[in-house]
Amino acid sequence: MNHLIAQRGVSARVTTDSAGTASYHIGSSPDRRMNAAAQRQGITLTGSARQFTAADFDKFDLILAMDKSNYQDILSLDTDKQYAHKVKLMCEYCKTYCDTEVPDPYYGGEAGFDYVIALLTDACEHLLDSILLR
């Protein structure tokens, strides 16, 4: 998403952050295989892993989950049930791919990482379009 935001020159209007729902990769750089897949598409991944917290509900207008398990993990932090309208599945924004969840390529090969980059690019392009139309 940051790559697309920079390409379109809209960084003053749109900001993003990334967080996982589990704590086991906190502080880690992006997976080297995902980084390689991104680089093959001209995308540079930056940052380090952090864990999603309940405070993030107030910080962000939209919270995207990669799969239904993460979606439920995020909603479980919404103890007052006031932020569900902000939480969506990433694949809801796909136009080219019909996946309902972003598959986890972690235990697969290079093709799985390439597929996830393509899927996320599809979703991010259309998400950004919808944001910029507001």
Instruction: Compute the distance between CA of residue 81 and CA of residue 95 in angstroms, rounded to an integer.
Output: 30
pLDDT digits (tens, 9 = 90+) for 50-103: 999 999 999 999 999 999 999 999 999 999 999 999 999 999 999 999 999 999
HSE, CB side, 13 Å, CA atoms: give it for residue 20. Answer: 14
Check: CB of residue 1 under 8 Å from CB of residue 121.
no
User: Which of 61, 67, 80, 104 is an active site residue?
Assistant: 104
The pLDDT of residue 45: 94
Query: In CATH terms, is domain 2-132 a member of 3.40.50.2300?
Result: yes
Scanning the chain, the segments in alpha helix (DSSP H) are 2-8, 32-40, 56-59, 68-76, 110-132
Q: Above 90 in pLDDT, residue 43?
A: yes
Strand partners, 65: 89
**Could you give the angle at the alpha carbon of 36 between the alpha carbons of 3 and 71, nearest 5°?**
65
DSSP conformational letter for 20: B
**Phi/psi at 64 (5° precision):** -110, 130
Task: Delimit the domains of the chain by residue range.
Answer: 2-132
Catalytic annotation on 114? no
pTM value is 0.93
Residues near 72 by Cβ (< 8 Å), separated by ≥ 6?
A: none
Strand runs (DSSP E) across 11-119, as ranges?
63-65, 87-89
Give percent of the chain with pLDDT exceeding 70.
100
Strand partners, 51: 20
Q: Above 90 in pLDDT, residue 23?
A: no
